[in-house]
């Protein structure tokens, strides 16, 4: 899994644009309150000790940024990666506040992790590091306070260790994290959730723009969790033709379509797509500008930038990855009438099903896959249509409409709570 480097400048630019738009409306929201929403409520830095297998003692720096909890407990992932730092956590936490607000689930935004390379840690070292980090966070996390989840280089097993460590002092508490194994209170449908959300957003965008998906060519940049599920669902449920895929090594493209089953088996066996037959091999950058109707960047931050925005041929861009379009590139796409479904709406399926997991944990009653999928569709479609209506009514791009909806909801919650 590739780490996604976010730029605070892009998120701040979008947020400030939304603030200016809201300030220009007849609104009861204090402009200073809108500005306050861009800042974090709490930022936690801890030094996490670890006795290595060779007997040496080492410390790793851990972070948890809690951005805003006016609408509910903080919610967001934990990532273990050498590049984790306070700036990255701050940006991601801000995005999570906006994402949970735009799809109208009762969470705020949080994010964090440990600056480490898990590939250099044994299984025992990784477990001890996770447990020590959990203890240092202490009562700053919890099912009614802050609910972490898996992110880059973390998974269901890491969440299981957090549950166990947290529960030692507080009693059994499945709801302290989401993304857990099914045996420990996880939810069915969580693995496919973000990809399914991307598929639903793609379906709604195609309807709005008058594109027949049964005749559409779709390119996915990436072939990880989001792209692997999203591509299959767009093909199976919507009839779209997947013509491009990529891995960290490079990309494949075939205007006649790609056999997804064969590509996935090849990817699993070879840890990449280079050498897969019957396709053209190219760079990730070249894939983005190939002929297609719908482009779904699902891998890297700033994938769409000022260098390639004028060359993108897609009519619709559905952002499967966080912050994959630079702010200046976003303006270029808007000027070219390329319809962009922004990340805080398009890839919110994962946090929505995390919300379902949390609800199930609190009630100790678990749903079947059909209920999870139906509820996910209801929330994604409702959110999409609401943002689309605001976009049309206020003559805004979908991104600015989504940011405006999210920030207005957060601000009104803060006012109602008595800021």
pLDDT digits (tens, 9 = 90+) for 313-338: 999 999 999 889 999 999 999 999 99
Q: What percent of the chain has pLDDT over 90?
A: 88
The backbone torsions φ and ψ at residue 314, rounded to the nearest 5 degrees and listed phi first, read -65, 145
pLDDT band at 216 (very low <50, low <70, confident <90, very high): very high
3-state secondary structure of 353: helix
* Cα–Cα–Cα angle for 156, 231, 279, rounded to 5 degrees: 120
106: tokens are 């009762």
Task: Please report where in the chains the tokens 């590939």 appear, as a residue.
Answer: 119
Helix (H) or strand (E) run with residue 231 in it: helix 225-238
Q: Check whether 353 has a pLDDT greater than 90.
A: yes
CB neighbours of residue 341 within 10 Å: 27
pLDDT band at 102 (very low <50, low <70, confident <90, very high): very high
Is 217 among the residues known to form the active site? Answer: no
Q: Check whether 274 has a pLDDT greater than 70.
A: yes
DSSP-assigned letter for residue 53: T
What are the structural domains, with CATH classification, of the chain? 39-172 (3.40.50.10860), 193-346 (3.40.50.720)
Q: What pLDDT does 203 receive? A: 98
Catalytic position from the list 111, 217, 241, 315:
111
Task: Single out the residue of 220, 382, 396 nearest to residue 298, CA to CA.
Answer: 220
| Dihedral sign (CA 87, 190, 405, 302) | positive
130: which residues sit within 8 A by CB, 6+ positions away?
158, 161, 162, 165
pLDDT band at 2 (very low <50, low <70, confident <90, very high): very low
pLDDT digits 0-9 by tens, 48-66: 999 999 999 999 999 999 9
pLDDT band at 13 (very low <50, low <70, confident <90, very high): confident
List the beta bridge partners of residue 42.
66
pLDDT band at 3 (very low <50, low <70, confident <90, very high): very low
Q: What is the mean pLDDT of residues 411-419?
A: 90
180: tokens are 């857990």
Q: Mean of the per-residue pLDDT values for the chain?
A: 94
For 55-108, where are the alpha helices, taking DSSP H only? 86-102
Task: Please report where in the chains the tokens 């705020």 appear, as a residue.
Answer: 108
3-state secondary structure of 374: helix
Q: What is the mean pLDDT of residues 210-226?
A: 95
Q: What is the mean pLDDT of residues 331-350?
A: 97
In this prediction the pTM is 0.94
pLDDT band at 6 (very low <50, low <70, confident <90, very high): very low
Q: Check whether 7 has a pLDDT greater than 60.
A: no
Q: What is the mean pLDDT of residues 168-193?
A: 96
Q: Check whether 30 has a pLDDT greater than 90.
A: no
Length of the chain: 419
Q: Check whether 359 has a pLDDT greater than 80.
A: yes
| Residues 357/178, Cβ–Cβ less than 8 Å | yes
- CA–CA distance, 53 with 32 (Å, rounded to integer): 52
Number of helices (H), then strands (E), belonging to the chain: the values are 14, 12
pLDDT band at 354 (very low <50, low <70, confident <90, very high): very high
Q: Check whether 144 has a pLDDT greater than 80.
A: yes
Q: What is the mean pLDDT of residues 109-131?
A: 97
């Amino acid at each position: 899994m590739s780490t996604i480097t976010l730029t605070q400048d892009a998120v701040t630019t979008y947020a400030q644009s939304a603030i200016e738009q809201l300030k220009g409306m007849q609104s009861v929201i204090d402009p200073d309150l809108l500005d306050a929403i861009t800042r974090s409520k709490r930022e936690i830095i801890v030094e996490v000790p670890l006795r290595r297998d060779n007997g040496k003692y080492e410390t790793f720096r851990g972070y948890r940024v809690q951005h805003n909890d006016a609408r509910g407990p903080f919610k967001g992932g934990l990532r273990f990666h050498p590049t984790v730092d306070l700036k990255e956590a701050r940006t991601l936490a801000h995005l999570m506040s906006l994402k949970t607000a735009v799809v109208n689930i009762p969470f705020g935004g949080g994010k964090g992790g440990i600056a480490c390379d898990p590939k250099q840690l044994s299984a025992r070292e990784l477990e001890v590091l996770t447990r020590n980090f959990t203890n240092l966070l202490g009562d700053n996390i919890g099912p009614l306070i802050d609910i972490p989840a898996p992110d880059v280089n973390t998974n269901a097993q890491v969440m299981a260790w957090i549950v166990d460590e947290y529960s030692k002092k507080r009693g059994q508490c499945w709801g302290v994290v989401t993304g857990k194994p099914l045996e420990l209170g996880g939810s069915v449908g969580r693995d496919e959730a973000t990809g399914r959300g991307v598929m639903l957003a793609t379906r709604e965008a195609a309807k709005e723009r008058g594109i027949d998906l049964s005749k559409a060519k779709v390119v996915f940049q990436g072939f990880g969790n989001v792209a692997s599920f999203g591509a299959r669902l767009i093909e199976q449920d919507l009839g779209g033709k997947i013509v491009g895929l990529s891995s960290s090594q490079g990309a494949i493209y075939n205007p006649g379509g790609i056999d997804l089953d064969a590509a996935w088996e090849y990817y699993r066996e070879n840890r990449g797509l280079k050498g897969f037959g019957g396709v053209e091999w190219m760079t990730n950058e070249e894939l983005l500008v190939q002929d297609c109707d719908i482009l779904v960047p699902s891998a890297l931050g700033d994938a769409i930038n000022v260098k390639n925005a004028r060359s993108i041929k897609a009519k619709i861009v559905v952002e499967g990855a966080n912050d994959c379009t630079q702010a200046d590139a976003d303006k270029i796409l808007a000027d070219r009438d390329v319809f962009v479904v922004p990340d805080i709406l398009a890839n919110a399926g994962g946090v929505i099903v995390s919300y379902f997991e949390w609800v199930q944990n609190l009630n100790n009653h678990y749903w079947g896959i059909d209920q999870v999928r139906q509820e996910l569709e209801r929330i994604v479609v409702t959110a999409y249509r609401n943002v689309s209506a605001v976009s049309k009514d206020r003559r805004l791009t979908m991104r600015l409409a989504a940011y405006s909806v999210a920030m207005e909801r957060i601000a009104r919650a803060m006012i109602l709570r008595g800021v």
